[in-house]
């Protein structure tokens, strides 16, 4: 591994980035409120990455972005770079289908096994599954073999989380650690003297397992709230686990209703949080625990670029959230050839963009924060 100095995702994506709320950072692009009527979305609804409505919104934003930086050019094909076959592969296929474009997708993750590539053919375009991020160089050749020139008629989507930043299998554990510590800090501050770090970690690690994803929707806001309520003593962890495993509690909203029935027993600070979370879930807000996510933003930024440039790459990989050099290099190459580069993140805006107060103090959105780039 080698360190390639400090840079930011902004270097190769600019502000053509959307986080979970689908509010483009580049204000020249239309907001979700403007786009929603054309996609049939009800007011206030924010589709998730795996939903067809999300694909309709993104395909429209790509066309708008192309018209801004290359007037007269039209997109004819899509290239997608991500880290998960399920989430990114689904988003890729649905964007191709919504826009009517052929596509190719690179799905990468660093794995401790012999280097290999698997090409999965599917209707909207093949998935190029690689267990090395360095395989992006070969993927570029694969694109040319399939007749995919990366010129101004090509849109390239780059996933931010665990792809451009914190490469999966190489550096993603630092992202996870930042989020975990943000949950612990938020819950600890609210519980005060009642906070038990060991019990918290036990609850977090158990409820974060795939077994409970149907109940938590794999939503870290829900998980943070559950740890808060369990930590307060309002509901016992064992009873919650038994209710989920036994099928009595199938949805998070059911648990909110149970807490609401006894909300008067909660300390005043927790009642405020409970009300905020319940109301946000009621309006389909995918980020109901705002206080936790704002703490996550700080926790994330504090792990970006804080080490000296002389720090060995092996140490950087353990301490910092890094830019994936292989993604950076190929993105810059494709952009130089004329392709449109666009970044997607499923990380909530509250965990990615500073509050006005922090922005006034010089804090930047995650994609503009400088950190070290490391790669092979």
Convert the pLDDT of each residue in 68-106 to its tens digit: 999 999 999 999 999 999 999 999 999 999 999 999 999
What's the pLDDT score for residue 284? 84
What's the pLDDT score for residue 37? 82
What's the pLDDT score for residue 206? 96
Distances (CA, A) of 13 to 10, 190, 242, 280, 351: 5, 38, 46, 31, 19
CB count in 10 Å sphere of residue 62: 22
Cα–Cα distance for residue pair 82/159, rounded to 1 Å: 5
Counting other chains too, the contacts that 143-152 makes at CB distance below 8 Å and 24 or more residues apart are 143/79, 143/104, 146/104, 148/77, 148/79, 148/102, 148/104, 149/337, 150/79, 150/333, 150/334, 150/337, 150/338, 150/339, 151/337, 151/338, 151/339, 152/66, 152/70, 152/73, 152/338, 152/339, 152/340
Enumerate the domain spans of the chain.
2-170+322-375, 172-297
Cα–Cα distance for residue pair 258/155, rounded to 1 Å: 47
DSSP state of 28: T
Average confidence (pLDDT) over 303-325: 97
Which of residues 283 and 128 earns the better pLDDT score? 128
pLDDT at 43 over 80: no
What's the pLDDT score for residue 45? 83
Contact 221, 287 (CB under 8 A): yes
Per residue in 1-20, pLDDT tens? Answer: 999 999 999 999 999 999 99
Tokens of 219: 């939503």
Contact 348, 293 (CB under 8 A): yes
Q: Can you tell me whether residue 242 is helix, strand or coil?
A: helix
In sequence order, the β-bridge partners of residue 103 are 78
pLDDT at 345 over 90: yes
Q: Residue 232 — pLDDT band, cuts 50, 70, 90?
A: very high
What's the pLDDT score for residue 235? 85
pLDDT at 338 over 90: yes
What's the pLDDT score for residue 44? 76
In sequence order, the β-bridge partners of residue 198 are none
Per residue in 151-210, pLDDT tens? Answer: 999 999 999 999 999 999 999 999 999 999 999 999 999 999 999 999 999 999 999 999
Average confidence (pLDDT) over 127-154: 96
pLDDT at 245 over 90: yes
Cα–Cα distance for residue pair 75/310, rounded to 1 Å: 42
Q: Residue 54 — pLDDT band, cuts 50, 70, 90?
A: very high
Give DSSP secondary structure letters for 54-93.
HHHHHHHHHHHHHHHHSTT----EEEEEES-TTHHHHHHH
% of the chain surpassing 70 pLDDT? 100
């Amino acid at each position: 591994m080698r360190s390639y100095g400090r840079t930011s995702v902004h270097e190769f994506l600019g502000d053509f980035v959307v986080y979970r709320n689908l509010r483009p950072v580049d204000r020249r692009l239309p907001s979700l409120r403007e786009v929603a009527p054309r996609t049939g979305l009800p007011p206030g609804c924010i589709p998730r990455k795996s939903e067809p409505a999300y694909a309709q919104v993104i395909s429209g934003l790509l066309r708008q972005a192309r018209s801004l930086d290359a007037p007269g050019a039209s997109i004819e094909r899509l290239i997608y770079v991500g880290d998960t076959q399920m989430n990114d592969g689904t988003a890729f296929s649905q964007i191709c289908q919504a826009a009517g474009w052929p596509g190719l997708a690179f799905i990468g993750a660093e794995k401790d096994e012999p280097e290999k590539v698997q090409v999965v053919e599917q209707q909207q375009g093949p998935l190029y599954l690689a267990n090395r991020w360095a395989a992006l160089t070969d993927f570029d050749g694969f694109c040319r073999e399939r007749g995919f020139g990366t010129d101004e008629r090509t849109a390239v989507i780059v996933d931010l989380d665990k792809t451009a930043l914190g490469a999966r299998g190489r550096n993603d554990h630092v992202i996870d650690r930042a989020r975990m510590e943000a949950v612990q800090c938020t819950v600890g501050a609210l519980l005060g003297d009642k906070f038990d770090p060991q019990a918290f970690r036990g609850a977090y690690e158990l409820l974060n397992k795939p077994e409970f994803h149907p109940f938590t929707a794999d939503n870290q806001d829900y998980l943070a709230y559950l740890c808060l309520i369990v930590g307060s003593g309002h509901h016992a962890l064992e009873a919650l686990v038994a209710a989920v495993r036994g099928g009595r509690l199938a949805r998070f909203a059911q648990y909110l209703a149970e807490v609401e029935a006894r909300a008067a027993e909660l300390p005043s600070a927790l009642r405020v949080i409970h009300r905020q979370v319940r109301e946000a879930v009621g309006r389909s807000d995918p980020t109901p625990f705002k206080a936790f996510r704002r703490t996550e933003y700080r926790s994330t930024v504090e792990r970006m670029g804080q080490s000296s440039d002389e720090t060995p790459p092996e140490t950087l990989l353990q301490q910092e959230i890094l830019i994936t050099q292989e993604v950076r290099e190929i993105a810059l190459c494709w952009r130089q050839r004329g392709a449109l580069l666009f970044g997607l993140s499923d990380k909530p805006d509250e965990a990615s963009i500073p509050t006005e107060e922090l922005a006034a103090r010089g804090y930047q959105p995650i994609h503009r924060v400088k950190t070290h780039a490391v790669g092979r």
